[in-house]
Structure 1
Amino acid sequence: MEETESTTQDRTTGQDGSHAADHTLLMSSKPLHRFIQKEPKSLGIVILIFGCAEILMGFVLSQEVDYTSYQIYIPFWQGALFVACGNLSIYTEMNPSKKMVTVCLAMYVVSILGVVVSVPFRLSCILNFRYARYRYYSENNNWKQLIGVESLLFTSSLCVSVLLIFLCAVARLALKSTSTQIIVQHIPLPPSNPTSN
């Protein structure tokens, strides 16, 4: 008798495991929850780590007098973009809404544009170090470290851009399928009775 009451109480409060599974199944059909199924929180954590590494390497490059990506402050603004994208992805998975997915999509696009600016500049820095290595070789081996740091940041920017393109596609598909729809229902009037006159 007591077991029956506790089972009934669990079903009404939603604590039963099968009820939670049914709720998850129902939520998976909604477009915004398809975005959540791609786990933007996990990808956001990865992007956040890349952003923090970018900012930390920016402090290392700021002490150099040579031609580096610090010349136009790439490590700082690109790192800040990555940190913002990572935080938004984490927040959006915890609080999904159409507005937050739209904000995420906008930040992803801005960050991809930042990568498009930074990649050629970093490539030119790496090539500049390659051509100038004979001059530096007689003085010090600092150019090897600078090539290593710039190559690492170049590679991490490309990796993050792949993640951002994937998240852009998923967010765009989620927003596209949640377009507002109007359902018009026509209910015909009951036929008038001519004998009532």
Structure 2
Amino acid sequence: MEGTEPTTSESTGREGNQEANQTVLLTSKPLHRFVQKEPKSLGVVILIFGCAELLMGFQLAGETAYTSNHIYIPFWQGTLFIICGNLSIYTAVHPSKKMVTVCLAMYVVSLLGILVSAVNRLLCFPFITDIAFSMEGDIWSNYRSEQLLCVEIILFTSSLCVSVTLIFLSIIARLALKSTQNQVIIQYVSTTPPPPPQE
């Protein structure tokens, strides 16, 4: 009876060492290095920008002037931002190669959307400015056009801020996927039998 106790404690110690080794292997994986770059926090930021874009889209929907809403930019770009934000948060909580690949694809699609919206908003600025100058006699119409111009400038600036965040996330996601493909983990498991119990 006394001889079996050391063997049990020794096997428990080995199991604990194997669990510790698994933890070390998990933390050294490139996907977990991706999580260390705080995609969850950045995802929350992108999510807030997406909600703001959608809310401004409802405001621009009632305007008759030529704005970015004529091709529904605030709605689809806000939706892309919300999807990217949610994916970043989910991937930070449940990291996997598949989810990082999906995130990377959505980051690239959102960046292309930002490029389209930036060009379109740059084209909208002169039209809104012309409306403001043509209605100098009407104070309220002039004030309304200036508000529209400010909204478009704010949305343009916020999309540029999100693009910087998405470029950063795309780079770390690509590096994580690239190093995951090239990584080889060798784990040595000792097969020596435990020493015989001492009587």
Please show how residues 127-142 of structure 1 align to structure 2 within 5 Å.
127-139=126-138, 140=141, 141-142=143-144
Aligned match of 1:147: 149
Give the partner amino acid of 2:150: G
Post-superposition offset of 1:27: 3.2
Post-superposition offset of 1:158: 0.2
User: Structure 1: where are the runs of 5+ without partners?
Assistant: 1-7, 184-197
Please show how residues 150-169 of structure 1 align to structure 2 within 5 Å.
150-169=152-171
Contact 1:32 1:174 in 2 (8 A): yes
Aligned match of 2:121: 122
* Deviation string, structure 1 residues 48-75 (Cα, Å, up to 9, x no partner): 0000000000000001000000000000
Aligned match of 2:29: 30
Give the partner amino acid of 1:56: L
TM-score calculated relative to the size of structure 2 = 0.78
Aligned match of 1:73: 72
* Deviation string, structure 1 residues 65-109 (Cα, Å, up to 9, x no partner): 000000000000000000000000000000000000000000000
SS of aligned partner of 1:137: coil
Distance 1:152 1:172 in 2: 30
Give the partner amino acid of 1:115: I
Distance 2:134 2:34 in 1: 52
Aligned match of 1:5: none
Distance 1:137 1:32 in 2: 58
Aligned match of 1:170: 172
Distance 2:97 2:114 in 1: 26
Post-superposition offset of 1:24: 6.3
Distance 2:24 2:135 in 1: 62
Please show how residues 3-152 of structure 1 align to structure 2 within 5 Å.
26-139=25-138, 140=141, 141-152=143-154
SS of aligned partner of 1:132: helix
Post-superposition offset of 1:130: 1.9
Distance 1:48 1:182 in 2: 36
Contact 1:136 1:142 in 2 (8 A): no
Post-superposition offset of 1:126: 1.5
SS of aligned partner of 1:176: helix
Aligned match of 1:192: none
Distance 1:91 1:44 in 2: 9
User: Structure 2: where are the runs of 5+ without partners?
Assistant: 1-8, 186-199
Aligned match of 2:193: none
Give the partner amino acid of 1:173: L
> How many residues in Structure 1 have an aligned counterpart in Structure 2?
169
Distance 1:181 1:65 in 2: 56
SS of aligned partner of 1:138: coil
Distance 1:166 1:127 in 2: 32
Post-superposition offset of 1:28: 3.2
Give the partner amino acid of 2:41: S
SS of aligned partner of 2:135: helix
